[in-house]
Amino acid sequence: MWKAAGGALRAALILCVFLVVPKAGSADPQAALGLRMASLIGQEGSAMSRLDAERMRRLVMPPVDENGNVPFHRRDWLEALPLVEGGREWQCLATALYFEARGESVPGQFAVAEVILNRVDSPRYPDSICDVVYQGARRGGGCQFSFACDGRPERIRERDAYALAGKIARVMKDGAPRLLTDGATHFHTRAVNPRWARSFPRTAQIGAHLFYRQPGA
């Protein structure tokens, strides 16, 4: 909200400058004032950009550890975060992570989150998290994620595992970098060998899952 308000204020001030500043070569005494205003607005815009970038860095990037590593994929860092909640999009992502990957390591769960968000970004798939997660489920078949069509009610029985999935979902939905799967849009367990895996380039292997990027996605 503040960012939008600041942008609107800068736009209004810039408009005022264009109305006040005379054409080049004019002897109007307001020229110096107008040029000074333009300079101040430019400095303010630059400062706001730096502030917005710094605020985003602090929100998205956690502090580095003693080895210089960003601890996104460390369980202890996630467990130290307060419990989180969110809207439907967050809930759909947390639910998918819980049912598809709660038995995986923390990086394995982050990797599945990357797949879902990569699909949201791809024109080949729906443009919301919930529509990606439940694609095909409403038609009664062809689900992209098995839990959505396995016929079992989505009951959360392991509260700690769901809390962890929720934190991962929050971090990823808030813009954490996708570092693990190199743009993967598909994954499967090592226990199966789907036909599509023969033609999709494999991008990563994490825990029990193999990850692939759909050509053109």
Domain spans, the chain: 2-60, 75-212
Q: For residue 54, what pLDDT is reported?
A: 46
CA–CA gap between residue 181 and residue 203 (Å, rounded): 6
202-206 vs 209-212, strand pairing mode: antiparallel
Q: What is the DSSP letter of 40?
A: H
State residue 62's pLDDT score.
Answer: 59
Judged by phi (left if over 0) then psi (alpha if -120 to 50, else beta), residue 70 lies in: beta
- Placement of tokens 């062809």 in the chain: 142
User: 0.85 exceeded by the pTM?
Assistant: no
Which of 180, 190, 160 is closest to 78 using CA atoms? 160
Instruction: Please tell me the predicted confidence (pLDDT) of residue 66.
Output: 62
What b-and-e string marks burial along 175-196, b requiring 16 or more CB atoms within 10 Å of the CB? ebebebbebbbbbbeeeeeeee
Nearest alpha carbon to residue 115 among 88, 137, 144, 142: 144
Choose among 209, 184, 168: nearest CA to 125: 184
Pick the closest to residue 109 from 30, 16, 32, 187 (CA basis): 187
* Concatenated DSSP letters of 90-102: HHHHHHHHHHHHT
**pLDDT by position in tens, the chain (length 217):** 333 444 444 444 333 433 334 444 444 545 455 445 545 445 544 444 444 444 444 444 555 666 656 677 889 989 999 998 889 999 999 999 999 999 999 999 999 999 999 999 999 999 999 999 999 876 656 778 888 886 777 789 999 999 999 999 999 999 998 989 999 999 999 999 999 999 999 999 999 999 999 998 7
Instruction: Read off φ and ψ for residue 13, nearest 5 degrees.
Output: -65, -40
The candidate with the shortest Cα–Cα distance to 96, out of 79, 83, 113, 111, is 113
pLDDT in tens, 66-90: 665 667 788 998 999 999 888 999 9
